[in-house]
Chain A
Amino acid sequence: MSLLSFLIGEKKKTASVAKERLQIILAHERSGKSAHQPDYLPDLQRDLIAVLSKYVNINPGDIKVNLERQDNLEVLEVKIELPDAR
């Protein structure tokens, strides 16, 4: 086989390259989809900051609002970092 393939001129194994390329493209596209956020998220974030700052001294950058899709489930993630208690 090796001699034969040498004579014919063996072609490069490109299938694994194709799979790798696909995985990169799709990882990029799929993450791009979840980055498509509904319009109300910035408003929600602003309101949350307004409410919280009534009670806690909080930095606007410390609140992160994120919507994630997992199969048929949408998860609204609100992450609030409280300032160090001194």
Chain B
Amino acid sequence: MGCERRVVYDFVNVINGEATLNQALIKDKHSDHLYVLAASQTRDKEALTQDGVERVLRELAGMDFEFIVCDSPAGIETGAMMAMHFADEAVVVTNPEVSSVRDSDRILGMLGSKTMRAIQGQEPIKEHLLITRYNPNRVQEGQMLSLEDIQDILRIPLIGVIPESEDVLQASNQGVPAVLLEKSDVAEAYKDVVDRFLGKDIPLRFTEAVKPGLLQRVFGRR
């Protein structure tokens, strides 16, 4: 998110009472209504406690934020469990790769059994599938799992497909959210995801194979 130089206090500081939530919240440079609460980069994720996470989330909810987005660390460990525990909705991000789809399946199992809503027998967490790094040309050539394959296996509603693109690394290198890139398929695809999350019904884009042009063939595909 490009705010690394502005982090003074993080999530663990707030949980331990070393800083107030207001001190730790960082206003985003790009978006007026977005605030970032950094996860601790120094202490390991075991420093998070379920009670502490709940307390901070309740305080955030009391501050009239419309959405609280908990970014889960990659992989299946305590950090991910903490991020999902109090969720109302979950966006499960998966790549068209065996290991990624497999982990997503395990996460879905946990969403349905280990989270607060599951334990208290409330209405289950609303699950969305987001497929990233999707390359329709490779899918057409039979070199990549198709979105139908992935949906077939995970069986939750699809909220979007993000095409594989060099733009993502470029954006990440600069600390710019990919959704803010100009003239990028990735940004468009992410905007579609947001619209769908907010309830709009819009068709998928960038999921059909495109034939490479003559020049691209001559000079080799990227």
A interface residue numbers (CB < 8 A to B)? 11-16, 18-19, 21-23, 25-26, 29-30, 33, 72
| CB-CB contacts below 8 Å: B69-116 with A | 97-98, 101-102, 105-106, 109
Q: Is B54 an interface residue (CB 8 A)?
A: no
Given contacts A26-B153, A33-B109, A72-B124, contact A15 B146 (CB under 8 A): yes
Taking the nearest CB of chain B, how far is it from the CB of A70, in angstroms? 12
Taking the nearest CB of chain A, how far is it from the CB of B59, in angstroms? 31
Given contacts A13-B143, A19-B145, 14 further A-B contacts (CB under 8 A): A15-B144, A16-B142, A18-B97, A18-B145, A18-B149, A19-B149, A19-B152, A22-B98, A22-B102, A23-B153, A29-B102, A29-B105, A30-B109, A72-B124
Q: From DSSP, what is the main secondary structure of chain B's interface residues?
A: helix
| CB-CB contacts below 8 Å: B34-50 with A | none
| CB nearest to B139 among chain A residues | A15
B interface residue numbers (CB < 8 A to A)? 97-98, 101-102, 105-106, 109, 124, 139, 141-146, 149, 152-153
Taking the nearest CB of chain A, how far is it from the CB of B153, in angstroms? 6
Q: Are B143 and A26 in contact (CB under 8 A)?
A: no
With a CB–CB cut-off of 8 A, which chain B residues contact A25? Answer: 98, 102
Taking the nearest CB of chain B, how far is it from the CB of A84, in angstroms? 42
Q: Are B149 and A15 in contact (CB under 8 A)?
A: yes
Distance between Cα atoms of A65 and B106 in the complex (Å): 26
Distance between Cα atoms of A4 and B106 in the complex (Å): 42
